[in-house]
Amino acid sequence: MTTFFTTLDGPVGELLLVGDGNALTGLYMQAQKYRREVQSDWRRTAKPFVTAIEQLRAYFAGALRTFDLPLAPRGTEFQRTVWRALLDVPFGRTETYGALARRIDAPNAARAVGLANGHNPLGIIVPCHRVIGANGSLTGYGGGFERKRWLLAHEARLAPLLT
């Protein structure tokens, strides 16, 4: 199967979009922990990512709060469970790792939820930036705290305007 990729400049830096031609399999930031690197057999083209790029631009412009894209993240069953649950954290809101663990019926797995959250291959679109520590701190964001701060502030500023 061919892997396609392209890049997009945004307010949080350059984004790497990765896909299989049918679905988005990765969206990574520069210097992101667990970022996939472009492989020599990948094909650079923006064609499979037109809708994703349009939606990301709309999100950054403040005109979109929910992405509607075919997604195919690769991970363990537990990771995919966590990533699906992240999609239910509302725009402009946050949730703690513990609350997310309870919501997926794994109340003692806040640390495992944090690890799965950190391995999310679809940053921004699968909103792992909306998960915070129990004390409200901005813990554990693979994209960097400055980006997490920016994304949360962006959404908090827009949330009342988009309801």
**Helix or strand run (H / E) with residue 113:** helix 110-118
pLDDT in tens, 83-111: 999 999 999 999 999 999 999 999 999 99
Tell me the whole-structure pTM to 2 decimals: 0.91
Tokens of 150: 């920016």
Question: Domains, the chain, ranges and CATH?
Answer: 4-61 (3.30.160), 77-161 (1.10.10.10)
**Contact 92/110 with Cβ under 8 angstroms?**
no
Query: Rounded to an integer, what distance in angstroms lies between the CA atom of residue 49 and that of residue 47?
Result: 5
pLDDT in tens, 115-154: 999 899 999 999 999 998 887 767 766 666 788 899 999 9
DSSP lists the bridge partners of residue 15 as 8, 29
- How long is the chain? 163
pLDDT confidence tier of residue 161, bands split at 50, 70 and 90: low
The pLDDT score that the predictor gives to residue 31 is 74
Q: Give me the DSSP letters along 5-55.
A: EEEEEETTEEEEEEE-SSSEEEEEETT-TTPPPPPTT-EE-SGGGHHHHHH
Residue 34 has pLDDT above 80, yes or no: no
Active-site residues, by number, are 128
**Contact 90/103 with Cβ under 8 angstroms?**
no
